[in-house]
Structure 1
């Protein structure tokens, strides 16, 4: 933890005594459950030292990463001289090593103290940040103060009638009437105040029932000692775990107008123990849990060894050490590879590979785990449509659309698909994959795929034959049942030989449009326009030739 200032920087010390208990004992308010923490703490700290200021800090910025958030809070310095500012009701999950303090202007920073509070002190923080609850608490506290004053006046009047000696004859009746009138007025006032108290308590109970506040058993309090000659402010920076966000996208395709729109949203949730109410928010693509340094290469350590006569292999000690090192390296690599990949999203700024998106509006995110969704971007434009089929895998056709307006900054996330205002399913948004292959929008029932041939033929292997052959023929028919012409793309494959003695001869009817489709070796593609109510047959034949003394293996 660090404390920064334009003039001074000192080390961390332990926190002072508990101010809340002193407040309750000194003010006689231990039974005042709803008195706002800021009022109680301010009064208590004032009794300890007149230079202590305690108030609810304002959140100036929240940046959410994967699994944690960075928070900046501020407190004003209202006077001059030496003062202690108290940042109260902070999350119990603060990373204390990340704390840093920054002062604006001509301010010196002294020691920074951290304290863990629990019990009644933490309960007072429960509704901090909920303005309606705070107003209700203050209103109820005012009513209770009025009631206590009225009851005190009544007790005073009762004692006055007991100790006062009325010696002047003739004034007895008048004094009695005055006392009765005052007593009646006080009783009526007490009754009115009690009725107001009941109504205020009911309203506060309803507010709390619907409040976004979260129950906290423990809270963190940070005290900062300052010295200044003029009003200024102090900022507290820290990191807290329990926050995260993920992207989600919606793609909507109109097959008639060929218009495609993609909406990008962010789903945010946090359980840090702090309620972030109406705060500026930034979403970052950084995963703080990732490795920050690269690994060094393994150095091969080689040696020679001899086999014993009984066939047992003796391994030198150096080789054993080398094997252990290799296994450990493998375990580290497997651990990194097996870690769950974080989901990221769009940002308005790319900081040399770190993507940030600053929300234009302030947002409220309570610390109860609820999912808050906000729109962050939208792109739309004209698209090219086609039907894609891979008949060797599935004899159907799928709608596909191109998206030339895709943004590289949009990172991987879930993608909901709508075709002609109907939800057709869910996929995955991946910029590189969708840019190359297009976006699939479900099965097209108006494209009929039928298999016409799937024949295998093994060549004869005689005594004098040095080679043998294997021939495979596949044929499919595609029929367009649409009322308009459709572009059809058919994907197939060609065998790949990994042996010089294995020869492959392939023929396609009609000729293919592309070989090694999208740089995928062995995948072929036909692209053609298929008129309405028309059919097209595609046939592929490949022949494998290899030595008769060898066995063919692989998928064929």
Structure 2
């Protein structure tokens, strides 16, 4: 067996990438020649997590130990990128332009020296030239100077352009790989009976994807079309070219187990003995910073990527999106936008108003809880194909069915708030209490040519002290006195016929001791 076959340099390529929020799993494929005893795979990301590295092959390859070395990229010539070659070519062009500029500046300096010499210095000896010869020499010097100065201007302009091109290339290279780029080299000891494929899988910290959505409401059919989108970004030093990309809502970088409660103990507090410094009035030194223990991993040079929190639903641990076409995501942090499909949901449309805050109504689509994992993220809102603004899609609990998605103002629902009525006086047999009555009244008119499902929200006072008594009366009766699980948030729910109006009245009576100072927050 030839000695050259014992060790091989594996030309590997990335075949699959699974991206999580804050990390990614990369799969590489390398070809192992028959008879190889080791294989070296170069130019991998310096953010490679050594503990996550896995090597797989078929039964014809026996795999031994694996070693990983991280070094400066410049030390391995095989890790040169196309940008490195472009930078070297640009440096050569700068050097050529600078040499031309320097030579022309030297010629200009020589002509200036000749022009400033006295005639006796230029023409020494007998036969001093006459005026015709002097004119001819002067004219030749003028033409030479003009030609040299013009070429010098053009050479300087050429050098400026070459310097600018080099600066742009170096900026791009530093952005994608960093000024002090590093690479990982993996060496695998093995025994290959025949030529076979070798698969590497490893975890990278730093890459991420963040969700975004587009919601389009068809008000005629009450159908909301939700489009999932994703922004993918990575700065690992490896370009993901033509790879099979999968996006997952799982988070392998999180803790694998929850925190346990500490014991609850009771004791009598004993003040510590006074120190000599305290007796002399000298303040105690500030406590030293407390070190936080735990599995914290910092990646040098890793950029901060978009993150989001994921909630598990439908007994699933994660939702994965496999992009059907092959994708290229270059290293450098550029964001690549992907569409992950659409889903239609039938909504219940309501016009919602909070008159005490704003005398306006907004069109809200209340949606059923969406299946799968929908991370909370921003959503672009369109009503009847017209863009109305940005919102937030929150699929947690029954948020979509209660709060819903708001699609802008409903201008044909007119909301009017009447002036607040308030009076107070003494109460009780001895007049020791204060009784205060507050009344809020609103009128809502439907100017649509169809019935409107109306929701009106009102804040009611909530007592947090047994000395404060609150009695509230409503007309009409509210549908919910703790809307969205918030005590004191009143919801009226009515259906308004076309052209009709409805008056909503809330009367609150507060009773509390006269000598008490009432604290209100709203």
- Is the Cα–Cα contact under 8 Å of residues 242 and 328 in structure 2 kept in the other structure? yes
- Is the Cα–Cα contact under 8 Å of residues 57 and 75 in structure 1 kept in the other structure? yes
5 Å-filtered alignment, 1:422-501, equals 422-432=386-396, 433-460=399-426, 464-501=430-467
Alpha-carbon displacement from aligned partner over 1:309-330 (angstroms, at most 9, x marks no partner): xxxx55799xxxxxx99x979x
- Aligned residue in 2 for 1:268: 232
5 Å-filtered alignment, 1:11-410, equals 49-79=4-34, 81-115=35-69, 116=71, 118-119=73-74, 121-122=76-77, 124-127=79-82, 214=176, 217-304=181-268, 342-343=307-308, 352-404=316-368, 406-410=370-374
- Is the Cα–Cα contact under 8 Å of residues 467 and 546 in structure 1 kept in the other structure? yes
Change (3 A) 1:269 1:345: farther
- Aligned residue in 2 for 1:413: 377
Structure 1: gaps (5+ residues): 1-45, 134-204, 307-312, 318-323
Offset at residue 476 of structure 1 (A)? 0.9
- Is the Cα–Cα contact under 8 Å of residues 247 and 345 in structure 1 kept in the other structure? no
Cα distance in 2 for partners of 1:361, 1:316 equals 73
Aligned length, in residue pairs: 412
Secondary structure at the aligned position of 1:512 is classed as coil
Alpha-carbon displacement from aligned partner over 1:210-233 (angstroms, at most 9, x marks no partner): xx9955743222222221223322
Cα distance in 2 for partners of 1:343, 1:460 equals 55
Cα distance in 1 for partners of 2:495, 2:37 equals 80
Offset at residue 396 of structure 1 (A)? 0.8
Alpha-carbon displacement from aligned partner over 1:35-78 (angstroms, at most 9, x marks no partner): xxxxxxxxxxx998333333421323211122221112121223
Cα distance in 2 for partners of 1:350, 1:57 equals 39
Offset at residue 374 of structure 1 (A)? 1.2
Secondary structure at the aligned position of 1:119 is classed as helix
Alpha-carbon displacement from aligned partner over 1:215-274 (angstroms, at most 9, x marks no partner): 574322222222122332222222223311000000001222322100011110111111
Offset at residue 86 of structure 1 (A)? 2.4
Q: Output the aligned Cα RMSD.
A: 3.8
Does 1 or 2 have the higher relative contact order (CA < 8 Å, sep 6+)? 2
- Is the Cα–Cα contact under 8 Å of residues 75 and 85 in structure 1 kept in the other structure? no
Change (3 A) 1:122 1:476: farther
- Is the Cα–Cα contact under 8 Å of residues 492 and 524 in structure 1 kept in the other structure? yes
Cα distance in 1 for partners of 2:213, 2:506 equals 39
Q: Which moved more, 1:104-113 or 1:360-369?
A: 104-113
Cα distance in 2 for partners of 1:346, 1:539 equals 40
Change (3 A) 1:48 1:458: farther
Structure 2: gaps (5+ residues): 87-164, 276-285, 297-303
Calculate the TM-score normalised by the size of structure 2. 0.70
Cα distance in 1 for partners of 2:345, 2:269 equals 68
Change (3 A) 1:64 1:500: same
Cα distance in 1 for partners of 2:42, 2:306 equals 35
- Is the Cα–Cα contact under 8 Å of residues 73 and 79 in structure 2 kept in the other structure? no
Cα distance in 1 for partners of 2:293, 2:264 equals 18
Cα distance in 1 for partners of 2:50, 2:412 equals 62
Secondary structure at the aligned position of 1:281 is classed as strand
Cα distance in 2 for partners of 1:453, 1:544 equals 19
Offset at residue 391 of structure 1 (A)? 0.9
Alpha-carbon displacement from aligned partner over 1:136-190 (angstroms, at most 9, x marks no partner): xxxxxxxxxxxxxxxxxxxxxxxxxxxxxxxxxxxxxxxxxxxxxxxxxxxxxxx
- Aligned residue in 1 for 2:472: 506
Calculate the TM-score normalised by the size of structure 1. 0.66
- Is the Cα–Cα contact under 8 Å of residues 22 and 307 in structure 2 kept in the other structure? no
